[in-house]
Structure 1
Amino acid sequence: MRELFPDLWQTTSEHPMTAFPHSTSNAYLLLREAGNVLFYCTGREAIGEKHGEADLDRIADLGGIAEVLLGHWHEATPSLKRIKERFGARIVIHARDAAPVEKESGVAPDVTFWDRHVLPAGVEAIPTPGHTVGSACYLYRSPHGRTYLFTGDTIWPARGSWTSATFEDDGKHSAHRASLDLLATLKPHVVLSTISPDNTQAEVLPDEWEAATAAAKARLG
């Protein structure tokens, strides 16, 4: 694991997608006095491997995990159950992705939501359907001065540009386009995705972020 900012750590990179072996996946640990928050899920690649255990041990040293905020159900694997059992973490997901999370991980979410609102952890949950019907992004304004936007697989950096993909296709990608339009109105300083061919986190300027969401929309076709 590595420290990105005073209150944000990135887990060891994994490569869980056999069809795309060079794609990198990370989770992110947000440190909070009221309880740490893990975005996405770590240990997805292979449970029990040395680096996965090392990450969980480091997370324990940093205060454990109070909540796991999932961006969509593709992040759910048996490692989610392991994290919940070790740390007593509450699992949070959009209601539309709750059932497949339980099916894939063996653990039911503790908290589900439908609408955009601020969670008790002080993180804003923003439904962004398109990649899956229950995809969601999360916005957090850090007391250290930066605004973090956790985008899951709704949009991610890729070889100098930005891209996106949808699995809930209506032929026009209408929901996903609307979600990207919504994200374009936000003003993040740092964008952190689940997966990328290079780096899952990127610092952005306001005009860069508008261009990023436009580029991702163009990739949808």
Structure 2
Amino acid sequence: MTREQIFEFFRRLAEGDPDPQTELAYGNTFQLLVAVVLSAQATDAGVNKATRALFEEVHTPEDMLALGEDGLKAHIRTIGLFNAKAANVMILSQQLVERHGGEVPQTLDALTALAGVGRKTANVVLNCAFGAETFAVDTHVFRVGNRTGLARGKTPEAVEAKLHRRVPQPFRRNAHHWLILHGRYTCKARTPECWRCPVVDLCAFRPKVLERPARRPVDRKVAPTA
């Protein structure tokens, strides 16, 4: 895409959703960090269901340590890889207490030094909690960046670097939210819904699906009469 096309791309996404937010539910920065760690290879809806009762009980790293690993597992056992994630959350809670006075740090290096926190997780926390202009590249952002031609790259890091270079103001703060939501609900992996896409004319994807696929007829079996 050209600079003009990229500006128009985000202008349209912003017009449709002026104040995009993460779909993870949380009440403070520590809860956000925990939710993002738990969301790896899981849906936001699944994480929210598991953390609803957890976050009524746990608000701080100290609360998490008091709950204990077994108590945490009891809350999150419906989430994939919950054993490993529970272990990481307990370790990072201890690290927060010992290294940061129980507060979530505000730098990429400090966040990625915590157990279970990768670059994507750190970027989400920095953006959502602290307003940093970061670009968290998950599977949706990676797909949309490559498919549309907005930011092509063979790795998430390469896509992130291109987004840093190419996304203009005033869209940088919310750009990764728009891309995630666009990939989740419109530019889907298997069948992108190009027929209702607001940026379809700017997109470099060639095999566009411009007509809604016909719904398969429901096979209503009639019970045999006696």
Higher relative contact order (CA 8 A, sep 6+): 2
The TM tier, using the shorter chain, reads under 0.3
TM-score normalised over the length of structure 1: 0.27
TM-score normalised over the length of structure 2: 0.27
Structure number with higher strand proportion = 1
